[in-house]
């Protein structure tokens, strides 16, 4: 094997040809395949976002009619949630990094891992076909009875989401088993990197919550196809029941999106402040804590749905509890920077951007969890701004940071730092210009999913649209940085950042089975002494 | 300050009820607490990254693994704040939801895409409704099709309107004026056009408005006849003669051949569609684009009246 390394063999050039990729069982190659697919989906979902902001640039019709707007809004939401943010970090970064972090050769079930990717592809293909062929306009939430009384496209879209769900479940299962069974000698649970803790908590959510979505979607399909009354009041069903089922999955799904992002941030902050993490156990356990509590807060999406007053109060209380572990994480990250040796490369900028935006997303989350306050904010732009601060400001910042952080490991090359930082500047500023005004719009009472709005909402909408296009430019620069890095990047060496986790002890790019010699772990993951 | 003028200039709409003012107070508290938290976290972050930026490669950092005291403090203090906010929010929510006794009751019916308001006196109106100032008003709401949500920013309250069940909403407006009603739950194409106004007036004005019901004591067919005489007579005759539009005699229930070749039975749904969206299906022999839409001009009661009236023209 040593000769293999000396001859320059790594997972990228070990075999060649498209077929060798499509049938690869190597977690790193599968990770890269996820990276490419998610980036394509993101480009499509992002294009719809740009169109939405163009339409909302002024009151009245601008570039499309109301029906087309509703379709565009549905496409944007469904693509971004089911095909970008949920598979984004776990399936892409997780696949590539998890075995490396554990000192393992691969995940526990490489074939299942490849199958997960195909599930995502098949599910996405069906969903895309349905979106464009039928022009679904239900919003990504598929609320009944609207979704059972409109055109038939919903059923296929839902079927696509159902198959994508299996991708999520299988990936989660794979990660749980890998974490339990394939840790390097000496790597106890308390010596695992925090990214692994985050992925592990996420995997629990994926395995436990996604089946509920699958069941809900099946019930929806049975109602549409067989006329069995579950959610449709005309058939004796209860439309609000759908919301309970839907959010029982989709609230934990919010944490499927954000927990791994938090893991990425823990890695980046320690590496770039060259300092051990402050409060390792607290951060690790708070991931598990957030995952556990997140199963009992779904009703906060339904404060005004007609559920009972007492239910609203209980869900408000439990939601407040999620704020505690989240606050612990934020304070611990800031404390890690204290007396560090901070280097401002692009991954750190994105991690700091994450902290900045996530803090705003977090405090506005508490505002929305306050049940008496939510009755005004529910279904207004305040909510839109809040969840974009958490999911885009949080998850996408972490994905970008993670890409820049692990790019040298994935491809053995360095990106152009100047342009990478510039992409951060555009995305960060554009993001705040887009979404901060939406908090104000929401407070002023502008409801969401509105094709048209009252004239008094126009100035802030206009600012928001300019911000969206700025974000678009930022991501285009980011894409340029990645392509340029692939083609022209300077050689990175095994450990360009001087980080301490195991992936940096092997070559960049790593050889087929990751480590030439089985690593043995004798200390924690962040031993900067 | 007049509510209309203030809407655009403030970050929150004019507060037209006591509870809305209570909402504003809690929101102000939350904003200040949020601002302080953001300054602590983001400020700490900025100070640390600047102060401890790397000066030379390879410099040593202290090994600080944790501090039980600090970590306890920054779990416990947020927890206490969250609990204060939770209880305050609970109280506010209870005020929003505790239905008053002896309130003026109005039946609200939502359907794609308008609001109809029915009073005990029998008066039914669409698109706008009147309530007296300083008196509790209770809305008993249901939907005829999909989910909608009744939202008045000036009252800081909203409630989903659900088909197959009743939900309630109450308010006691303490400032005269016209307040915007939105539909806040996505309901299809014209969701953003599903608007209404609530007019808060004095008790005298309210009584006068309520007794001015143009259809007081009339049956649905009579209402239809009145609307016909005012709005339809110019183009539609009560014989089977062809005018600008088809005559109404014997029309109800007849199969009509459409300009696009299809056949449609002239039932309730077709007549409703022809009034609200005339060009959707035009009968063969009549040019499209002649009949104007009456969407937003006729309320539910008037629409039903016309349909019932057409049924009688045999
Ligand atoms: Cu939630
Ligand atoms: Cu609506």
pLDDT in tens, A333-388: 999 999 888 998 999 999 999 999 999 999 999 999 999 999 999 999 999 999 99
Output the CA A313–ligand 1 centroid distance in Å: 15
A312/B62 CB distance under 8 A:
no
Measured torsion, CA atoms of residues A470, A474, A480, A486, in degrees rounded to the nearest 10: -170
Of the ranges A116-125, A301-310, A426-435, B226-235, which one carries the lowest mean pLDDT score? B226-235
Helix and strand totals (H; E) in chain B:
7, 12
pLDDT at B216 over 60: yes
pLDDT score, position B10: 60
Protein residues near ligand 1, an ion, with CB under 5 A: A 251
A344/B88 CB distance under 8 A:
no
pLDDT tens column, B96-147: 999 998 899 999 999 888 898 999 887 888 888 999 999 999 999 999 889 9
Enter the DSSP assignment of B229.
I
User: What percentage of chain A exceeds 90 in pLDDT?
Assistant: 65
Measured torsion, CA atoms of residues B222, B225, B230, B234, in degrees rounded to the nearest 10: 180
Output the CA A128–ligand 2 centroid distance in Å: 26
Contacts with A, B 173-192, CB within 8 Å: 180, 182-192
pLDDT tens column, A308-319: 889 999 999 999
C-alpha distances out from residue A107 to A98, A209, A372, Å? 8, 22, 47
Output the CA A339–ligand 2 centroid distance in Å: 53
pLDDT score, position A119: 94
Q: Which residue has the tokens 């977690």?
A: A27
Report, as an integer, the average pLDDT of A416-440. 95
pLDDT at A151 over 70: no
pLDDT score, position B5: 40
pLDDT score, position B269: 85
pLDDT score, position B3: 43
Average pLDDT, chain B: 87
Helices (H), chain B: 3-7, 18-51, 68-97, 203-211, 220-227, 268-276, 300-312
Report, as an integer, the average pLDDT of A174-188. 94
pLDDT tens column, A458-507: 999 999 999 999 999 999 999 999 999 999 999 988 999 989 899 999 98
Contact A193, A97 (CB under 8 A): no
Which residue is closest to A141 within chain B, CA to CA?
Answer: B186
Q: Which ligand is nearest to the CA of A143?
A: 2
pLDDT score, position A270: 94
pLDDT score, position B66: 84
Output the CA A306–ligand 2 centroid distance in Å: 16
pLDDT at B67 over 90: no
Show the tokens assigned to B121. 């006196």
Nearest Cβ partner for B147 among A143, A273, A340: A143
* pTM for the full predicted model: 0.88
What is the rounded CA–CA span in Å between residue B162 and residue B149?
Answer: 8
A340/B48 CB distance under 8 A:
yes
Q: A414-427 as b/e, with b when 16 or more CB fall inside 10 Å?
A: bbbeebbbbbbebb
For residue A318, the chain B residues in CB contact (below 8 A) are none
pLDDT score, position B253: 85
For residue B149, the chain A residues in CB contact (below 8 A) are 304, 379
C-alpha distances out from residue A291 to A95, A248, A393, B247, Å? 20, 13, 20, 67
pLDDT at B292 over 80: no
pLDDT score, position A7: 53
Q: Return all residues near B103 (Cβ < 8 A) that are at least 6 apart.
A: B135, B136, B137, B138, B170
Shortest CA gap A92–chain B (Å): 29
**Domain A27-505 = CATH 1.20.210.10:** yes
Contact A464, A59 (CB under 8 A): no
A324/B27 CB distance under 8 A:
no
pLDDT at A255 over 70: yes
pLDDT score, position A104: 93
Inter-chain Cβ pairs, chain A and chain B, closer than 8 A:
263
Output the CA B187–ligand 2 centroid distance in Å: 4
Q: Which residue has the tokens 């719809």?
A: A48
Q: A150-170 as b/e, with b when 16 or more CB fall inside 10 Å?
A: eeebbbbbbbbbbbbbbbbbb
Query: What are residue B256's DSSP bridge partners?
Result: B264
Which residue is closest to B48 within chain A, CA to CA?
Answer: A338
């Amino acid at each position: 094997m040593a000769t293999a390394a000396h001859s320059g063999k790594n997972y990228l050039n070990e075999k060649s040809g498209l077929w060798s990729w499509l049938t690869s069982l190597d977690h790193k190659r599968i990770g890269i395949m996820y990276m490419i697919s998610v980036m394509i989906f993101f480009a499509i979902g992002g294009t719809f976002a740009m169109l939405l902001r163009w339409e909302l640039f002024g009151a009245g019709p601008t570039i499309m009619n109301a029906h087309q707007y509703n379709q565009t809004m549905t496409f944007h939401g469904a693509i971004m949630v089911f095909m970008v943010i949920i598979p984004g970090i776990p399936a892409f970064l997780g696949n590539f990094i998890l075995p490396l972090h554990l000192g393992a050769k691969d995940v526990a079930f490489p074939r299942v891992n490849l199958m997960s990717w195909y599930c995502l592809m098949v599910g996405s293909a069906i969903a895309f076909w349905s979106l464009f062929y039928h022009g679904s306009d239900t919003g990504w939430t598929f609320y009944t009875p609207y979704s059972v009384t409109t055109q038939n496209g919903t059923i296929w879209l839902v079927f696509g989401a159902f198959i994508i769900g299996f991708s999520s479940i299988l990936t989660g299962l794979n990660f749980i088993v890998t974490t339990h069974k394939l840790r390097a000698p000496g790597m106890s649970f308390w010596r695992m990197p925090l990214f692994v803790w985050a992925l592990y908590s996420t995997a629990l959510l994926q395995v436990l919550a996604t089946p509920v979505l699958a069941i809900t979607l099946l019930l929806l399909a049975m109602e549409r196809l067989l006329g069995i009354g579950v959610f449709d009041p005309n058939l004796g069903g209860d439309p609000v029941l759908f919301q309970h089922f839907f959010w029982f999955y989709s609230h934990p799904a919010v944490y499927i999106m954000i927990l791994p992002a938090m893991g990425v941030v823990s890695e980046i902050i320690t590496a770039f402040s060259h300092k051990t993490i402050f409060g390792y156990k607290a951060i690790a356990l708070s991931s598990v804590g957030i995952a556990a509590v997140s199963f009992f807060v779904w009703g906060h999406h339904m404060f005004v749905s007609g559920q009972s007053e007492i239910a609203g109060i209980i869900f408000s209380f439990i939601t407040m509890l999620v704020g505690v572990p989240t606050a612990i994480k934020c304070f611990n990250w800031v404390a890690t920077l204290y007396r560090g040796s901070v280097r401002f490369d692009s991954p750190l900028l994105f991690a700091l951007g994450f902290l900045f935006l996530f803090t705003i997303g977090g405090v506005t989350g508490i505002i929305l969890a306050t049940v008496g306050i939510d009755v005004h904010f529910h279904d207004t732009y305040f909510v839109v701004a809040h969840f974009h601060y958490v999911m885009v400001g949080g998850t996408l910042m972490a994905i970008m940071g993670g890409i820049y952080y692990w790019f040298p490991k994935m491809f053995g090359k360095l990106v152009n730092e100047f342009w990478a930082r510039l992409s951060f500047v555009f995305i960060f500023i554009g993001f705040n210009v887009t979404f901060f005004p939406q908090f104000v719009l929401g407070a002023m009472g502008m409801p969401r999913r509105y094709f048209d709005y009252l004239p008094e909402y126009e100035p802030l909408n206009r600012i928001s649209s300019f911000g969206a296009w700025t974000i678009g430019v930022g991501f285009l620069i980011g894409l340029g940085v990645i392509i340029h890095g692939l083609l022209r990047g300077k050689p990175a060496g095994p450990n360009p950042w001087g980080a301490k986790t195991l992936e940096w002890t092997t070559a960049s790019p790593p050889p087929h089975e990751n480590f030439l010699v089985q690593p043995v772990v004798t200390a924690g993951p962040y031993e900067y002494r | 300050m007049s509510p209309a003028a203030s809407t655009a200039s403030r970050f929150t709409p004019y507060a037209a009820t006591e509870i809305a003012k209570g909402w504003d107070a809690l929101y102000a508290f939350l904003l200040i607490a949020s601002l302080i938290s953001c300054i602590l976290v983001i400020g700490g972050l900025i100070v640390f990254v600047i102060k401890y930026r790397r000066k030379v490669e390879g410099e040593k950092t202290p090994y600080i693994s944790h501090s039980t005291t600090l970590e306890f403090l920054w779990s416990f203090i947020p927890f206490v704040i969250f609990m204060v906010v939770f209880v305050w929010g609970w109280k506010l929510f209870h005020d929003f939801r505790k239905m008053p006794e002896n309130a003026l009751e109005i039946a609200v019916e939502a359907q794609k895409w308008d609001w109809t308001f029915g009073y005990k006196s029998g008066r039914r109106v669409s698109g706008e409704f009147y309530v007296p100032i300083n008196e509790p008003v209770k809305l008993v709401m249901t939907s005829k099709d999909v989910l909608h949500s009744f939202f008045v920013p000036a009252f800081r309250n909203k409630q989903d309107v659900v088909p197959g069940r009743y939900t309630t909403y109450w308010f006691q407006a303490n400032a005269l004026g016209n307040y915007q009603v939105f539909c806040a739950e996505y309901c299809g194409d014209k969701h953003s056009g599903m608007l209404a106004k609530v007019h808060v007036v004095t008790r005298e004005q309210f009584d006068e408005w309520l007794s001015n019901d143009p259809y007081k004591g009339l049956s649905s067919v009579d209402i239809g006849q009145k609307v016909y005489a005012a709005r339809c007579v110019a183009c539609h005759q009560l014989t089977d003669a062809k005018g600008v539009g088809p005559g109404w005699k014997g029309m109800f229930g007849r199969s009509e051949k459409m300009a696009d070749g299809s056949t449609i039975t002239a039932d309730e749904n077709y007549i409703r569609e022809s009034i609200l969206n005339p060009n959707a299906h035009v009968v063969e022999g009549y040019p499209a684009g002649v009949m104007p839409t009456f969407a937003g001009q006729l309320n539910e009661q008037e629409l039903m009246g016309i349909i019932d009236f057409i049924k009688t023209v045999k």
